[in-house]
Amino acid sequence: MSTSADPFSSPARRLPGDLAMWFFILAELTVFAILILAFAVAQMVYAEQFDESRAALDSSIGLALTLSLLTSGLFAALAVEQVRQARSARATLLLLAALGSSCVYVVLKLNEYSHLAGLGLGMEHNTFFTLYWILTGFHFLHVLLGMVILGWLAARCRRGAYGPDNHSGLESGVLYWHMVDMVWVLLFPLVYVLR
């Protein structure tokens, strides 16, 4: 149902992508919710330790990580829009741009991991870093899987596998990538910013 007062409204309501992907996303979000809340509860118990440990993280790096993921998400969303307009070549380039932007995230994150490991702030250092490595590492694995999916989507798009009437698979893959984005926008303030 739509109303004229809602600028985002649409006459026909439709769930993009495959239903199976949405159930997968819900399952993933549930797991991340448990980890995020575990981090928050541990922060309540070890407030001083979390404040001191967080000082080892650079929030500007966290911001750069965020912007690289969000930019990648924009390119992926624009690719879907181009396929709907039967512009597969442009969509392929946009998916490759999404992949490139996600590479920035990977390089920055690996640098951060390397820096922390060099300082001896590994998983066994304290509770903050145990949860930091588990939470961000689990998310990092999702980024890597998402990059594989983006690459696969780009290859299929290049071969003309998607069109205005046949792009549910593309939507599903891109939805997974947006889920990875959404988890990060909650992780970022919790891990890098809040005190």
Partner 1 sequence: MSASKVLVACWLGLAVLSVSTVLLGNAGATLALTAAVLLTAFGKAWLITDGFMELRHAPRAWRLLLLAWPLVLVLGVLLTLL
Residues that bind partner 1 in the complex, under the rule CB under 8 A: 1, 8-10, 12-16, 22, 26, 29, 33, 36-37, 40-41, 43-44, 59-60, 62-63, 66-67, 70-71, 73-74, 76-78, 81, 84, 175, 178, 181-182, 185-186, 188-190, 192-195
Q: Nearer to partner 1 by C-beta: 26 or 155?
A: 26
Q: What CA–CA distance (Å, rounded) separates 21 from 25?
A: 6
Contact 60, 188 (CB under 8 A): no
Of 127, 106, 113, 117, give the one whose Cα is nearest residue 184.
106
Looking at the Cβ atoms of 159 and 163, the one nearer to partner 1 is 163
Say which residues have a Cβ less than 8 Å from residue 100's Cβ, sequence separation at least 6: none
**Shortest Å distance, C-beta 117 to partner 1:** 24
Which is nearer to partner 1, 117 or 186 (by Cβ)? 186
C-alpha 31/C-alpha 36 separation (Å) is 9
Q: Can you name the residues that pair with 166 across neighbouring β-strands? A: 163
CA gyration radius for the chain?
A: 19
Q: Which is nearer to partner 1, 77 or 134 (CB)?
A: 77
- CB of residue 134 to partner 1, shortest distance in Å: 17
Minimal distance in Å, beta carbon 81 to partner 1? Answer: 5
